[in-house]
Amino acid sequence: MKQERAKWGSNLGFILAAIGSAVGLGNIWGFPYKMGKSGGFTFLLIYLVLAIFVGFVVMLSELALGRKTGMGVVGAYRAISKKFSWVGWLGVIAPFLLLCFYVVLGGYCLEYAVINVTELFTNATPMTGAESFSGMLSNPLRSMGYTFVFTLINYFIVRGGIQGGIEKFSNIGMPALFVMLVVIIIRSLTLPGAIEGVKFMFVPGYAVSAGFIAQEPDFINVLSTAGGQMFFSLSLAMGAMVTYGSYLEKKENLVKNSVLIVFADTLVALMAGLAVIPAAVSIGLQQGIAVGDIKLSGANLLFVTLQDVFVSMGKMGAVFGIVFYVLVLIAAISSVISLVEVVVTMFMDQAHAKGKKGNRSKIVVCVCLAFFAVSLVVAADGLGSNGLWIPFRELSAQVAADGTVTYPAITGCWLDFLDCWAEGVAMPLGALLMSLMIGWEIKPKTLLEEINLGSNISWIGGFYTVCIKFIVPVAMVFILLGQVSDFFGLHLFG
Q: Which residues bind ligand PHE (CB under 6 A)?
A: 21-22, 24-27, 95, 232-233, 235, 238, 240, 335, 338-339
- Residue-wise over 100-130: b if at least 16 C-beta within 10 A, else e? bbbbbbbbbbbbbbebbbebeeeeeebbebe
Q: Minimum CB separation from ligand PHE for residue 228, in Å? A: 12
Closest approach of Cβ 233 to ligand PHE, in Å?
Answer: 4
Instruction: Give 405's DSSP letter.
Output: E
With CA atoms as reference, report the closest residue to 87 among 442, 420, 466, 475. 442
The nearer residue to ligand PHE, 191 or 339, going by C-beta atoms, is 339
**Among residues 19 and 436, whose Cβ is nearest to ligand PHE?**
19
Q: CA angle, corner 175, sides to 170 and 180, nearest 5?
A: 120
Q: Closest distance between ligand PHE and the C-beta of residue 24, in Å?
A: 2
- Euclidean distance between CA atoms 132 and 466, whole angstroms: 51
Contact 20, 173 (CB under 8 A): yes
Distance in Å, CB of 200 to ligand PHE, minimum: 21
Toward ligand PHE, which CB reaches closer, 24 or 165? Answer: 24
| Least separation in angstroms between CB 245 and ligand PHE | 13
Q: Tell me, letter by letter, the H, E, C secondary structure of 331-354.
A: HHHHHHHHHHHHHHHHHHHHHHHC
Least Å from the CB of residue 365 to ligand PHE? 21
CB of 257 to ligand PHE, least distance (A): 16
Rounded Cα–Cα distance for residues 5 and 290 (Å): 58
Dihedral-angle region of residue 372 (phi above 0 means left; psi in -120 to 50 means alpha; beta otherwise) = alpha
Comparison of 24 and 284: residue with beta carbon closer to ligand PHE? 24
Q: Which is nearer to ligand PHE, 24 or 317 (CB)?
A: 24
Residue type, 4: E
* 405 beta partners: 399
Dihedral angle, C-alpha 133, 141, 138, 288, nearest 10 °: 10
| DSSP-H helix ranges across 301-443 | 306-311, 314-353, 360-381, 393-396, 414-419, 427-436
Query: Which residue type is seen at 491?
Result: H
Least distance in Å: CB of 124 to ligand PHE?
A: 33
CA dist list (Å): 355 to 97, 190, 358, 390:
30, 60, 9, 43
Residue 91 or 161: the one with the smaller Cβ distance to ligand PHE is 91
Q: Which is nearer to ligand PHE, 94 or 304 (CB)?
A: 94
Closest to ligand PHE by CB, 80 or 268: 268
> Least CB distance from residue 142 to ligand PHE, whole Å?
24
Q: How far is the CB of 121 from ligand PHE (least distance, A)?
A: 31
Nearer CB in complex with ligand PHE: 308/423: 423
Of 345 and 452, the one with the shorter C-beta distance to ligand PHE is 345
Name which of 57 and 191 has its Cβ closer to ligand PHE: 57
Helices (H), 30-71: 31-37, 41-50, 56-69
Rounded to the nearest whole angstrom, what is the least distance from the CB of residue 72 to ligand PHE in the complex? 13
Work out how close the CB of 482 gets to ligand PHE at its nearest, in angstroms, rounded to a whole number.
18
Q: Which is nearer to ligand PHE, 170 or 338 (CB)?
A: 338
Other CB atoms within 10 A of residue 395 CB: 7
To 10 degrees, the CA torsion angle through 63, 64, 67, 71?
A: -80
The conformation of residue 388, written as its DSSP 8-state character, comes to: -
* Contact partners, residue 318, CB within 8 Å, separation at least 6: 116, 117, 119, 120, 126, 310
Quick one: residue 403, left, alpha or beta (phi over 0 = left, psi -120 to 50 = alpha)?
A: left
